Structure 1
């Protein structure tokens, strides 16, 4: 892997698959990735943060049942992201505006604070993030805030031996409280939305592809009704006839 393609961007290659993304070191298109927890099959969507690709960010965010807001705890990094009109503000506000009411906050790069894994730094960030989330409409009591290090795996899958001061996160909800220590546990506490399966089919399109040997393939998320393999759909038939 070339130096320009490595460094701090090398793990972004897992999701940034377009040639332009890898050359420029930024996310351009939304990129889904699936994994399994104890309770759920989870599909995460890596949405671009660059302002030039706001359309793709809106598409990716609008399809989410829960948003994971990752903020950097590194010296100067958090302050740059949380300042007015910067990415932390924009992404949280966009998620809430698009109806994503469940939120998890990961305070990342705890391994780069001064001193390392600093409790005071984490508490400062939690206070400021919670204040902003409350302003835009989120209830901080319903948000799991987790200090993590994605690089070292701290509090990702298992509790970190370097952050024994962290006694865990708690969320208070009308439909059941939840608590835990890791980011994985926070994902397992997401409440699945109730989808109106008795309503007419509503499938907002993300994109339409033309695939050799198959034809036109519309892609989107089913919001109402149910689609199963082999089912016919008047909506899809009509759309294909129009094309």
Structure 2
């Protein structure tokens, strides 16, 4: 992998932000020399494994999938262009997982826990002012519970208001 590429930067950033599950899609396998080269995939897997281990990931918990986004190889279905690829495996205390495609690796990601017993924390992504409705803050509940009728305080402005409704993708919740 390139010393000035973004792979290292993205892996370090993900770890720093608390992302503990990782999938490495080795893309452009159709462009390797020769095309769909097992040796090139293994070389990249070895180098990336070494780097992610240094920043704190355990490579045994990471799915490495050789793919071609352009041709769709190993994206949704196993590719006949890479018969040498027997699949990926991840080992974790919550239960091991294995598969052959990127979609299977994505499906094997365990959803992070959102502690509902802690105080409400909802980092705001945006705020909309909608005529006839009012001010609509947008964000994701990281901890705690949000329900209509609750009094919430926004920091650092220290503004307290009542929650009128809670929606996700334009559908009412609670």
Aligned to 1:235: 152
Distance 1:179 1:226 in 2: 34
Q: How far 1:198 sits from its partner (Å)?
A: 1.8
| 139-148 vs 218-227, which moves further | 218-227
| TM-score normalised per structure 2 | 0.84
More helix by percentage? 1
Cα contact 1:205–1:219 (8 A) shared by 2: yes
User: Aligned to 1:235, what secondary structure does the other structure show?
Assistant: strand
Distance 1:239 1:157 in 2: 47
User: Aligned to 2:64, what secondary structure does the other structure show?
Assistant: strand
Q: How far 1:212 sits from its partner (Å)?
A: 3.3
Structure 2: which 5+ residue stretches go unaligned?
162-174
Aligned to 2:172: none
Structure 1: which 5+ residue stretches go unaligned?
1-77
Distance 1:202 1:124 in 2: 43
| TM-score normalised per structure 1 | 0.61
Distance 2:89 2:70 in 1: 24
Structure number with larger C-alpha Rg: 2
Cα contact 2:23–2:64 (8 A) shared by 1: yes
Distance 2:160 2:134 in 1: 9
Cα contact 1:122–1:147 (8 A) shared by 2: yes
User: Structure 2 residue aligned with 1:175, among 94, 103, 108?
Assistant: 94
Q: How far 1:240 sits from its partner (Å)?
A: 6.6
Cα contact 1:103–1:143 (8 A) shared by 2: yes
Cα contact 2:151–2:160 (8 A) shared by 1: no
Aligned to 2:55: 136
Alignment deviations for residues 92-114 of structure 1 (CA, whole Å, 9 cap, x no partner):
10110011111111001111111
User: Aligned to 1:130, what secondary structure does the other structure show?
Assistant: helix
Q: CA RMSD in A?
A: 1.8
Q: How far 1:221 sits from its partner (Å)?
A: 1.1
Alignment deviations for residues 10-56 of structure 1 (CA, whole Å, 9 cap, x no partner):
xxxxxxxxxxxxxxxxxxxxxxxxxxxxxxxxxxxxxxxxxxxxxxx
Count of residue pairs brought into register by the alignment = 158
User: Aligned to 1:96, what secondary structure does the other structure show?
Assistant: helix
Higher relative contact order (CA 8 A, sep 6+): 2
Cα contact 1:216–1:240 (8 A) shared by 2: no
User: Structure 2 residue aligned with 1:121, among 40, 55, 60?
Assistant: 40
User: Structure 2 residue aligned with 1:158, among 73, 77, 91?
Assistant: 77
